[in-house]
Structure 1
Amino acid sequence: MSTSRYTHAVVSRIPHSLREHHPSLDYDKAKRQHENYVRILRDIGLDVIEMPPDENTPWSVFVDDTAFVCNGTAIITKLSEPDRAKEVDIIRAVLKKEIGLPIVEVSNKSAKLHGSDILFTGREFFIGITKWTNESGAVAVASAFPEYPCAPIKVKENKHLKTIVSMAGPDVMCVGSSEESKHILKLLEQEATYSYQILTLPEDEAANVMYINGTLLHRSAKEIPKSFKVLNEKISDISLQSVDISELLKCDGVNLNSCCLLARRAKHIRNL
């Protein structure tokens, strides 16, 4: 399914300037964790495009914020922070020149759209309506990929949609156990055009996983001890790989997926 088959990952090294916004960040530890994260992406077969750190763009390590790729086409997001415009320009150029993807721009000036609010199941889109993403942003995704159903999901908490629910395999949704998580899952099931299997984990922070080419990336046992046990008990048909980026996760709105932009170069590029 297209939700899991990827050929490329775009990543960016961590600029020192990120510490200006998060003084408690242990830069050296974050750097080591990020290097291991990138190594894992390569080990599971992705062609990793690694950009150098840019001190003028402190948030640039969080590349998933800036775009979303589906079926060989990239939609460039509309970040609410004007000082991140350079990041978006860089990612646009990388996706177009390095991977050869056609680009869709969000034309509505009032739109807000963030990559971590875009949940693609392989069958349909769910767009989290959050402080980072609005209804106009959801409409932009629906317009960019009209071949798929697209439903907005209101998120009350100060979280991205993919923080609360993510895909843990073909047609498998992963979600936490809190009342808010259950509420979001209920909204998803009401809007869904397909019936999904549900993997419920005891810790909400464990719900953000990444299913990539037959491997499920999840947070480390130290971070999610109860959920780590559940994952190993319930998942036997795919490879499990723990990833520790706990230092970067201290930053507001950051998830496992935040540090890489996954893409699949289509054999046949569609006409736009």
Structure 2
Amino acid sequence: MKGALKDLNLNIVEMTDETATLDGGDVLFTGREFFVGLSKRTNQRGAEILADAFKDYAVSTVPVLEGLHLKSFCTLKVRTIHIMQQMSDHRYDKLTVPDDLAANCIYMNLPDKGHVLLHSTTEEFPESVKVFEKLKDHMLIPVSNMEKAKVDGALTCCSVLINKKANI
């Protein structure tokens, strides 16, 4: 991963504090601010290092009391959404789906495609897919998560979104 980021000429900040932990699944960037889940994989020191690296953005911590990490469930726990909204000056739109695991999606705003949403398949969560299908201004791409779910994985566990073209 480090090599790919270097190839894109991105700045790399390495955490040298051995007490700091920061799992990418606990970092949610909204485009305006960061929310960092404090979990079994991310601690306060890791969140502080992230805040130091991105001084132009607010960084708020959110306790992760169950589940693997923040992005696994951030859109499915009403209590967590409420906490995040209290920490932010911005009001975020939310979409509620009936299946907790189906809430783990990947949203992208792509130059030639517009709003794109990677989400679970009809075979996995048919009722949640019906909710996604109401998003008429989005390109919907169903992606199976059955195998990843066996090890508590989710779509966001398999993604790193970078807004920069490679010069390869």
TM-score (norm 1): 0.56
The unaligned stretches of length 5 or more in structure 1 are 1-90, 166-174, 267-272
Distance across 2 between alignment mates of 1:245 and 1:227? 14
Contact 1:202–1:227 (8 Å) recurs in 2 = yes
Question: SS at the partner of 2:133?
Answer: helix
| Pairing 1:100–2:9 present | yes
Contact 2:23–2:42 (8 Å) recurs in 1 = yes
| Pairing 1:189–2:99 present | no
Aligned residue number for residue 24 of structure 2: 115
Report the AA paired with residue 22 of structure 2: L
Contact 1:217–1:241 (8 Å) recurs in 2 = yes
Contact 1:206–1:227 (8 Å) recurs in 2 = yes
Over the aligned positions, Cα root-mean-square deviation in angstroms equals 1.6
Question: SS at the partner of 2:122?
Answer: coil
**How far 1:232 moved relative to its partner?**
0.9
Distance across 1 between alignment mates of 2:58 and 2:45? 16
The partner residue of 1:249 within 126, 149, 152 is: 149
| Pairing 1:215–2:97 present | no
Question: SS at the partner of 1:187?
Answer: helix
Aligned residue number for residue 44 of structure 2: 135
**How far 1:127 moved relative to its partner?**
0.2
Report the AA paired with residue 126 of structure 2: P
**How far 1:113 moved relative to its partner?**
0.5
The partner residue of 2:131 within 230, 245, 253 is: 230
The partner residue of 1:262 within 152, 161, 167 is: 161
Contact 2:67–2:73 (8 Å) recurs in 1 = no
Aligned residue number for residue 153 of structure 1: 62
The partner residue of 2:140 within 240, 251, 255 is: 240
**How far 1:94 moved relative to its partner?**
2.2
Q: Name the structure where strand makes up a greater proportion of residues.
A: 1
Report the AA paired with residue 142 of structure 1: A
The partner residue of 1:200 within 76, 91, 96 is: 96
**How far 1:93 moved relative to its partner?**
1.9
Distance across 2 between alignment mates of 1:247 and 1:128? 24
Contact 1:126–1:150 (8 Å) recurs in 2 = yes
**How far 1:258 moved relative to its partner?**
1.6
The unaligned stretches of length 5 or more in structure 2 are none
Q: Counterparts of 1:33-182 in structure 2 under 5 Å?
A: 91-96=1-6, 98-165=7-74, 175-176=75-76, 181-182=77-78
**How far 1:107 moved relative to its partner?**
2.8
**How far 1:197 moved relative to its partner?**
1.1
Structure with more relative contact order (C-alpha pairs < 8 Å, separation 6 or more): 1
Tell me the alpha carbon deviations over residues 46-82 of structure 1, each in whole angstroms, 9 at most, x when there is no partner: xxxxxxxxxxxxxxxxxxxxxxxxxxxxxxxxxxxxx
Distance across 1 between alignment mates of 2:67 and 2:155? 17
**How far 1:221 moved relative to its partner?**
0.9
TM-score (norm 2): 0.89
Count residues in correspondence.
161
**How far 1:124 moved relative to its partner?**
0.4
